[in-house]
Amino acid sequence: MLDTSRVLNQEKRREWNMQDYGAKGDAKFNNTPVFESVFAQAAVGDTIILGNGIFMADYVRPLKRFRFVAGGPESTILAARSSGLDPFFDWSMPISTVGCALEGLSFDLTGLNDARALRIHNWATGHVKNVKFRKGLVGLDIGNCDQTQVQDLWGINQNGANSATIRVSDASLPNAGLTNIWVSMSQPLTLDAGITVASFCSGLSMDNVWVVNSGAGTMNNGIKISTPVPTGVQGVFAELANVNTDAINGPGLRLENVRGLWCANSFLSSLFQGDFPGVLIDGGKEQQFSNSWISGQGVEFKGTSAVPDKLTFATCTFPQTQVTPAGAFKMTATPTNLVVADDNIYYSSVTDNPSAFLTATGKRSTRAKTKAGIPADVDFAVTPVDGTLAVDTTNNKLYVRIGGTWKGVVVA
């Protein structure tokens, strides 16, 4: 038997142009009643259209599964009135809902600077695309969304305590992606983090993300990912690729109790001459960094809730040209297992200096020290630990420190 229900449902869907129902983009008219009326009349699955202009409102509450389409960032602007509500645009569904979508819109919260611009909650297979956020406490606030994609998003000058351009919160965010994201600070304001993830995630990806402090403002963190569980089974499972954090007044990437992270082809930096690490790892485990440039004060390990474990840095570059004291890693807490392979460390006065590779804890590196003759502890600026490698270039011997004694073997 032919199932006609899907065809009939598609026939019933319609488009609703807000301006046909009284909406005005003159930067004066309060469009809140118009929005409320159209949302009430439109059916689930319909398309809501907002044309060009600056549309003022106290709040926007779709509360149904729609496709909300506007004329494009800067062409269509939703601006909050000073009497508006937080969140300004709240698209929270009572239960997990498939198919919500929003695209082609700018949010201006200059008149409501301590509020969230857009809140999405309980979305499944949703899509936010080609959206710009100006001012406000938070640009996009995501909660409990599954298989939701955020693409082509700009955030400019968010400000205040716990502020962020994108904030992921609430119970979970499984299988979500953030792609082509640009966060910029160009005014003397304070942004807590460009992107904040404070939730359990089972599949979070970030690709082509830029977080840059381009003005006189303050960014306390570039990207901050944290969970309340130190090293449990749950945690954040994240993939970061082509991520750039620059001129941050704190860590370029802050990880707190994160389990399962892969970061590749990225530039992670704080202020180049600042006292902040490019990456701060506080607790967590099973994290891998590859083919990345980590500047600022390199990497700092902390153990507020638990000691970091199972960390790998492969083919990374640490351009510590203006950092004092020189050191790619700062061991506020010493990781249980740390692997460093084929990394490059550069300094202004000394090139490829193994003794400056790590800070004063003496944690070993896979880069062996070379010496003409048998190595000894006095050859190292910091007393080496067992397992440290050294090469006798005169006798072609590889030495390893075992039980406080240097033992060697001839290498061909």
With 50 as the cut, is the pLDDT of residue 358 above it?
Answer: no
Q: Name residue 223's beta-bridge partners.
A: 195, 253
Residue 169 has a pLDDT of: 78
d(CA 192, CA 224): 9
Residue-level pLDDT at 128:
95
How many helices and strands, by DSSP H and E, does the chain display?
2, 34
User: Rounded to 10 degrees, what is the CA torsion of 16, 21, 24, 28?
Assistant: -120
Q: Tell me whether strands 405-410 and 397-402 are parallel, antiparallel or unpaired.
A: antiparallel
Predicted confidence (pLDDT) per residue in 134-172, tens digit: 999 999 998 888 888 899 999 999 998 889 999 987 655
pLDDT at 94: 85
Q: Report the pLDDT value the prediction gives residue 47, as an integer from 0 to 100.
A: 96
List, for residues 82-99, the tens digit of each pLDDT value. 999 999 999 998 888 888
- Give percent of the chain above pLDDT 90: 44
Q: Look at residues 205, 208, 198 and name the one whose alpha carbon lies nearest to residue 177.
A: 205
Name the range with the highest mean pLDDT among 1-15, 30-44, 160-174, 246-260. Answer: 30-44
pTM, full prediction: 0.81
Higher pLDDT residue, 383 or 60? 60
DSSP string, 270-283: S-TTSSSBSEEEES
- 189 contacts: CB under 8 Å, gap ≥ 6: 157, 158, 159, 217, 218
Domains present along the chain, CATH in parentheses: 12-367 (2.160.20.10), 368-412 (no CATH)
